[in-house]
Structure 1
Amino acid sequence: MDIGTVHSIWTVILFTSFISIIVWAYSKRQKSRFDEAANLVFADDELDKSTLESERSKEA
């Protein structure tokens, strides 16, 4: 095999990997996991609000 053949095979492997990742990322089975991960940022805000409310009720 010459270097041109190796580059061609490597290109096909990378392209196939890329398409596989795209299909996996946009599949319906992954949507719930990705939605949950996207909302993790806001989980701390809810925790902070509940902690502040409980501290205020203890002070009053």
Structure 2
Amino acid sequence: MSQGTFSGLLTVALFIAFIVGVFWAYSSKRKAEFDAAAQLPLEDGPPSHGTTQRTREKAP
């Protein structure tokens, strides 16, 4: 297999993977999950990932 054939096949494979990813992202089955994730920054309350705010200690 020549370099050109390999490059062409790789391009086609990556294009197909891209198309599958687009269909997955815009699938109506995923809409509810993506809508919930989009609202996370707007929710009140502490962060859910476990980080805490650091407080500065005053120097004596």
Give the TM-score of the pair, scaled to structure 1: 0.72
The alpha carbon displacement at 1:43 in A equals: 1.1
Aligned AA (1:13): A
Structure 1 runs not aligned, ≥5 long: 49-60
* Divergent runs of 4+, >6 A: none
Task: Tell me which residue corresponds to 2:54.
Answer: none
The alignment-based identity, stated in percent, is 43
Q: Structure 2: any 5+ residue segments left out of the alignment?
A: 47-60
Instruction: Report how many residues are paired.
Output: 46
Indicate the RMSD between aligned Cα atoms, in angstroms.
1.2
Q: Which residue is 1:33 aligned to?
A: 33
In terms of fraction of residues, the more helix-rich structure is: 1
* 1:6-27 CA distance string (max 9 Å, x none): 0010001100000000000000
Which is higher, the Rg of structure 1 or of structure 2? 1
Query: Quick one: which amino acid aligns to residue 22 of structure 1?
Result: V
TM-score relative to the length of structure 2: 0.72
